[in-house]
């Protein structure tokens, strides 16, 4: 009976998020649930299942419980190095040339319609990843204020989103953040730092259930059919079944602009899936590109 109730909780999670627990992940889930039972003073999984059926608040708490919050600034430095040394300068040159080319046409385009950059950080946890991307853009773009930049950052965990929006990080969580970035992009607080407004204004946080995206929904907080120039979906796919992973790869491909880049986690190479991404071999890390061209900032 105990295993039956646990299986029902597991199915409850899968129905709402498509997260899949196999092998040691299943034992981790069971351990976390037992801790939750003790905190709520509930006798067993059956009692917890009954609570889930009547409490939306507990459903939200459960989704917080099952998400992994391990992250840090500039995780996988090789990816950020390639982003700053190769991808951002190439994007800047490409968009600048698009503006110049339009000058010879009948209706010159405004720089504002071309100098747009849309980034997605899926599974952003407590915000270190999107803030790292924002700092990379501010460091690398020659005239960042000339760009219309938006980094959409989402996570299944409500508590993670709230923490990310606050942008406060204790000193022990600053691993990977260069000292000069600390000076330029954060403000000192007791026991830690807060990301400053220059960085924060580039990032928009929102709840994000990738299970909904896999099932064909649009990303929240965006217009229909938005195309991202860069997508970071790292250390997320490993929590889905292989079938759902394939569907997620397809969805990310469809939401990426032609010429855009996908960054995945170290254990999330795409060679096991059917896809049309091109591996960026000279990156020396897991970065993929959707081949194609853009005209005046629009996908063609």
pLDDT band per the 50, 70, 90 thresholds, residue 2: low
**Mean pLDDT value of segment 75-90:** 97
Find, among 6, 13, 74, 68, the residue nearest to 34 by Cα: 6
Find all residues with CB under 8 Å of 234, minimum gap 6, and list them.
Answer: 75, 76, 123, 129, 263, 264, 265, 268
Residue 104 — φ and ψ, nearest 5°? -85, 0
3-class SS at 269? Answer: coil
Per-residue confidence (pLDDT) for residue 106, from 0 to 100? 67
Digit-coded pLDDT (tens) for 176-185: 999 999 999 9
pLDDT above 90 for 237: yes
The domains located in the chain, with CATH, are: 2-66 (1.10.155), 77-299 (3.40.50.150)
What is the maximum alpha-carbon separation in the chain?
75
Secondary structure (DSSP) of 64-98: HHHS-----TT-SHHHHHHIIIIIHHHHHHHHHHH
pLDDT exceeds 80 at position 108? no
Kindly state the DSSP code that residue 282 receives in the 8-state scheme: G
In this predicted structure, the answer to whether residue 247 has a pLDDT above a threshold of 50 is: yes
């Amino acid at each position: 009976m105990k295993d039956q109730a646990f299986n029902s909780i597991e199915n409850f999670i899968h129905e709402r998020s498509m997260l899949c627990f196999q092998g040691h992940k299943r034992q981790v889930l069971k351990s976390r649930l037992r801790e939750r039972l003790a905190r709520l003073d509930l006798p067993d999984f059956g009692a917890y299942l009954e609570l889930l059926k009547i409490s939306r608040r507990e459903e939200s708490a459960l989704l917080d419980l099952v998400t992994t919050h391990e992250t840090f600034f500039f995780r996988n430095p090789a990816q950020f190095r390639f982003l700053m040394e190769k991808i951002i300068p190439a994007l800047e040159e490409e968009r600048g040339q698009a503006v110049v080319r339009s000058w010879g046409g009948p209706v010159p385009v405004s720089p504002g319609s071309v100098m747009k950059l849309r980034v997605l950080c899926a599974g952003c946890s407590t915000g270190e990843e999107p803030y790292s991307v924002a700092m990379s853009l501010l460091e690398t773009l020659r005239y960042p204020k000339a760009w219309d930049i938006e980094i959409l950052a989402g996570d299944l965990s409500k508590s993670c989103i709230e923490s990310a929006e606050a942008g406060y990080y204790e000193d022990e969580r600053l691993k990977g953040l260069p000292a000069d970035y600390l000076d330029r992009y954060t403000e000192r607080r007791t026991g830690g730092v807060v990301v400053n407004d220059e960085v924060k204004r580039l990032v928009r946080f929102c709840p994000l259930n990738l299970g909904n995206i896999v099932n064909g929904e649009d990303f929240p907080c965006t217009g229909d059919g938005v195309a991202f120039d860069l997508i970071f979906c790292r250390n997320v796919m490993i929590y889905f079944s292989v079938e759902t992973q394939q569907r997620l790869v397809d969805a990310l491909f469809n939401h990426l602009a032609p010429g855009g880049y996908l960054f995945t986690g170290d254990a999330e190479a795409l060679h096991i899936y059917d896809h049309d991404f091109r591996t960026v071999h000279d990156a020396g890390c897991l970065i993929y590109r959707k081949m194609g061209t853009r005209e005046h900032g629009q996908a063609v």
